[in-house]
Amino acid sequence: MSERSGRADQHRTGSAQQALERGTDRPLMEIYDAALLDLDGVVYVGPAAVPHAPETLAAARSAGMRLAFVTNNASRPPEKVAAHLRELGVPAESDEVATSAQAAARVVAEMVPAGSAVLIVGGEGLEEAIVGRGLRPVRAHDPDVAAVVQGYDPTVGWMQLAEGSFAVRSGVPWVASNTDLTIPTARGIAPGNGALVQVIRSTTGREPVVAGKPELALHAESAERVNAHRPLIVGDRLDTDIEGANRAGADSLLVLSGVTDAAQLLAAPPEHRPTYLAADLRGLLRVHEPVCLDADGVSSGGWTASVRDGRLELTGSGEPSEGLRVACVAWWSTPGDDPTPALRRLAGAGG
């Protein structure tokens, strides 16, 4: 154990280390047998790869880490997701891809008899998953409809939402692939499936059964795909990727290449706090230094954070994600009422 690690453990007086405090003596890709990777905002944004993602994942594979590509986006079937990844320089097979559409189809199949008509509010990813479960996808409500399944697709409009509302109001089971309110795109943050689910929720007064992250069905399916015994959940969203990892009792890496920013992470409740933090997927390739907690505050990577008179102060320099990491540990340990000094410092450092 290093002197720095020992001081941190001593400061905790024997208690378990909290989120973002833990260090490693090896790169994450050598510690965990598989990475369960979110896609949007982690591996790609829209049609383009996140910078450094293809070469990082190639290095992780070379080190023996298995990769599962896990997405709450239900719009595309696994083969199209895998083809997109290959176009971006990330070798992937369809059996390494797990989508929320597949998880939703599994849930629906447990609710209705084989061959039942299921009304689709979504795209081809849902249709293919429903057919794969021996069910019959339809697009208009009639008395034969046995369930509704809803997932994100950019073509969803008023007509699909209306048909879905008619069926949900009739009382049949309603399964949503996920309830992410937003989705990252090449042009910025756009409405996600959760925003579209809210339309039917408001129209009918009903709540859907949710199949994707942070629920555990998608996690279990993706872990099984790559025979993961000690998986690391990698994502950019606190309320899906990180909460799902915590529910599953798995470690997690939050990357800052997607929707989560510094203010959101500082405000995260315990269930949304990750094990590790990095600017992007290169966090898989490096050793994560343990934080040092002492009378001066929380230190790591050239940064020191402390809470003084309710204000979160951050000094030093280095990788901005390390600055955010020590700021979070300090703030979560001694919450105050003004995080803006640290946020300004991070903004000035490019974080």
The active-site residue out of 9, 25, 33, 40 is 40
Average of per-residue pLDDT across 229-250: 96
pLDDT of residue 268: 97
Question: Is 70 exceeded by the pLDDT of residue 214?
Answer: yes
What 8-state DSSP symbol labels residue 33? S
Catalytic residue flag (residue 338): no
Contact between 219 and 248 under an 8 Å Cβ cutoff? The reply is yes
Using the Cα atoms of residue 269, residue 301, residue 27 and residue 6 in order, give the sign of their dihedral.
negative
pLDDT of residue 220: 86
Between the alpha carbon of residue 269 and those of residues 131, 141, 198, 236, 248, the distances in Å are: 39, 41, 24, 16, 17
Q: Amino acid letter at 228? A: A
Average of per-residue pLDDT across 222-244: 95
Question: With bands split at pLDDT 50, 70 and 90, how would you rate the model's confidence at 350?
Answer: confident
Q: How far apart are CA 280 and CA 258, in angstroms?
A: 9
> H helices within 12-52, ranges in order?
28-31
Tens digits of per-residue pLDDT, 265-320?
Answer: 999 999 999 999 999 999 999 999 999 999 999 999 999 999 999 999 999 999 99
pLDDT of residue 201: 98
Average of per-residue pLDDT across 6-26: 63
Question: Is 60 exceeded by the pLDDT of residue 14?
Answer: no
pLDDT of residue 217: 85
Question: Is 80 exceeded by the pLDDT of residue 11?
Answer: no
The active-site residue out of 9, 38, 309, 338 is 38
Q: How far apart are CA 213 and CA 202, in angstroms?
A: 22
Three-class SS of 88-126: CCCCCCHHHEEEHHHHHHHHHHCCCCCCCEEEEECCHHH
Question: Is 90 exceeded by the pLDDT of residue 6?
Answer: no
Query: pTM for this structure?
Result: 0.86
Average of per-residue pLDDT across 4-27: 62
Question: Is 80 exceeded by the pLDDT of residue 56?
Answer: yes
Q: What are phi and psi of 56, to 5 degrees?
A: -65, -45
Q: Residue 239 corresponds to which tokens in the numbers above?
A: 């309320």
Question: Is 80 exceeded by the pLDDT of residue 23?
Answer: yes
pLDDT of residue 351: 65
Catalytic residue flag (residue 280): no
Q: How far apart are CA 92 and CA 86, in angstroms?
A: 6
Region of 233 on the Ramachandran plot (φ > 0 left; ψ -120 to 50 alpha; else beta):
beta
Q: How far apart are CA 159 and CA 278, in angstroms?
A: 42
